[in-house]
Amino acid sequence: MTLVAASAVPSVKAARAWRARPGLMIAGALAFCAIVYLLPMLSLFGWAFQGPTGSGASLAQLSRLIGDDTYHYAFFTTFEIAAITTLICALIGYPYAYLMATTGPRLAMLLTAAVMIPFWTSVLARSLAWMILLGRKGVVNEWLTGLGLLERPAALLFNSIGVQIGMVHVLLPFMVLPIWSILSRLDPGLPRAARSLGASPAAAFIHVTLPLSLPGLAAGATLVFMFAIGFYITPALLGGPNDLTIASLIEMVVRDLLDWPFGAMLSLALLGLVALVFACGAAFAGAGRIAGIEGR
């Protein structure tokens, strides 16, 4: 026991000495970021601006990206899917977050669990589950035909409908949680004060609660849109040939065509779009709130 305590003394002294030198800690963190983030990014730039023959710098990949309608279609489809997913998530997520923030503790706990448990489940598992549910002989079509709402099974899989259902299910927590974070911290006396001055419940919500919660809505919309732009698994499993996204195109270019320079250019374009969306969202909601390091 004495030997163990004696051997622990140098390590404790070393830890204290390390904490006493903030410059070393910052240098270590910067070195880690440079190895993990900066070097891969530099490699990506190198591949993207490489000539077709692999020698020398060139803008050939950028010209190819700008001049081909196939890639324009992939970008348009990606933006369309991301925009529709964000809109549906906002329409569902805001009332859900409002109910979470204003209901009693037991129901709030159930609603939170209903959001968080799927959130902790693998995206691949959830996408495969939707393949089972949305198939022609799946549960959804059996319910619709059994209730007499449809004469024959609907095409809910391998098209845009399946992609939107799957992506909304996966990304909905990223919309609900930022809105709930704002709504749960609002002073409940503010809408009550508006109602005491003669405002109806709807007017108090529109003129008091909704404006104060807009930063949370903007943060959630930014997160959902950013994730939707780069989504791969769900569109690849639930989508059809017309649902070609940028992520699927990158996978096709790199794996099937072995065209690493153009795959790097597509990745760089996707990264630039994500950065642009983040900058726009940060202007409305604040970068800290989108990153989850600012509560309000």
Distances (CA, A) of 18 to 11, 25, 35, 217: 10, 7, 21, 42
Domain limits, the chain: 40-50+58-274
What tens digit of pLDDT does each residue of 106-155 get? Answer: 998 999 899 888 888 888 998 999 998 998 888 888 888 888 888 888 88
User: What is the token pair recorded at 95?
Assistant: 């009332």
191: CB partners within 8 A, 6+ apart: 201, 204, 205, 208, 209
Q: Is the pLDDT of residue 296 over 50?
A: no
Q: Tell me the backbone φ, ψ of residue 57, rounded to 5 degrees.
A: -80, 145
Least reliable range by pLDDT among 57-71, 172-186, 225-239: 57-71
Least reliable range by pLDDT among 11-25, 54-68, 189-203, 205-219: 11-25
- For residues 237 and 127, is the Cβ–Cβ distance under 8 A? yes
Any bridge partners for residue 57, and if so which?
Answer: 50
What tens digit of pLDDT does each residue of 190-203 get? Answer: 888 888 888 888 99
| Separation of alpha carbons 176 and 97, rounded Å | 5
What tens digit of pLDDT does each residue of 57-95 get? Answer: 778 888 888 888 888 899 999 999 999 999 999 999 999
Mean predicted lDDT score pLDDT of the chain: 85
Q: Output Rg (C-alpha) for the chain, integer angstroms.
A: 25
pLDDT in the model for residue 180: 92
Per CATH, domain 40-50+58-274 is 1.10.3720.10: yes
Whole-structure pTM value: 0.83
6, with CB counted inside 10 A (0-12, 13-18, 19+), is exposed
Rounded mean pLDDT of 239-248?
87
State the alpha helices, DSSP H only, in 147-291. Answer: 160-183, 189-196, 201-204, 210-229, 233-238, 246-251, 260-285, 287-291
Confidence grade of residue 3 (pLDDT, cut at 50, 70, 90): very low
- Helix, coil or strand: residue 50: strand
